[in-house]
């Protein structure tokens, strides 16, 4: 499932707030939390020397898919409805990461997420222009599609497809706070357990 097919399916399950700032804040907070869950597994491998287990891989795939989910929300908040194309220099810079392991990839994703979060100043609105922030969101998709997914023996399209399958279980009709808390895709387990 390419990004343009994914985008409306992801937005179907988004809780929309009335302002651009609130929706961007939602996207930034979500990216931070999902990246943290992904990076926890990367840290176990890179810092603690653990071998990747099938369970760790599945968890990383799920969390990077959840991270991908926040990109359409951020682009929607920015009113960026066209495909975001990274310029050649940005693609070269991202692609030049030398045989990055999951720890390096986590750090590079954190740089993008940090850029998005820093563009939001409480009570001041958005401090960067929409196109600049949209390029940061595009950078996240690029890193996931061309660096993270292959490191997990997946494609970005597969990660997006799995994410939508999960969301269809959690939100059969559309987003609701009750369905978000019920977590049907996790058998009702609370977020602190699963």
HEC assignment per residue over 48-92: CCCCCCHHHHHHHHHHHHHHHHHHHHHHHHCCCCCCCCCCHHHHH
What are the strands, taking DSSP E only, across the chain? 120-121, 125-126
Say what the pLDDT of residue 98 is: 55
Return the residue matching tokens 């343009």.
4
What is d(CA 4, CA 86) in angstroms, rounded to the nearest whole number?
15
Say what the pLDDT of residue 12 is: 92
Per-residue pLDDT of the chain (194 residues; tens, 9 = 90+): 999 899 999 999 999 999 988 999 999 999 999 999 999 999 999 899 999 999 999 999 999 999 999 999 999 998 887 766 656 666 666 666 655 666 777 887 888 888 888 777 655 555 567 888 888 898 899 889 988 999 899 999 999 999 999 999 888 888 877 877 777 776 655 555 55
The model carries a pTM of 0.84
- DSSP designation for 173: S
Kindly give the interhelix angle for 130-143 and 20-46, rounded to the nearest 10 degrees: 30
Report CA-CA distances (Å) from 185 to 69, 148, 168, 171: 16, 24, 8, 9
């Amino acid at each position: 499932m390419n990004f343009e097919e994914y985008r409306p399916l992801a937005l179907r399950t988004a809780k929309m707030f009335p302002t651009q700032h609130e929706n961007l804040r939602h996207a930034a907070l979500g990216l931070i939390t999902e990246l943290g869950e992904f990076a926890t597994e990367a840290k176990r491998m890179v810092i603690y020397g653990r071998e990747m287990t099938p369970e760790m891989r599945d968890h990383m795939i799920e969390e990077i898919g959840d991270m991908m989910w926040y990109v359409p929300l951020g682009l929607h908040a920015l009113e960026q409805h066209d495909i975001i194309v990274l310029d050649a220099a940005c693609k070269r810079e991202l692609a030049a990461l030398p045989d990055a392991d999951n720890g390096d990839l986590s750090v590079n994703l954190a740089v993008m997420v940090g850029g998005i979060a820093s563009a939001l100043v409480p009570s001041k609105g958005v401090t960067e222009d929409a196109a600049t922030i949209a390029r940061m969101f595009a950078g996240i998709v690029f890193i996931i599609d061309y660096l993270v997914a292959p490191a997990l023996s997946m494609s970005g399209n597969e990660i997006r497809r799995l994410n939508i399958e999960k969301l269809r279980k959690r939100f059969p009709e559309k987003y609701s706070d009750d369905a978000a808390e019920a977590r049907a895709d996790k058998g009702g387990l609370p977020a602190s357990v699963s």
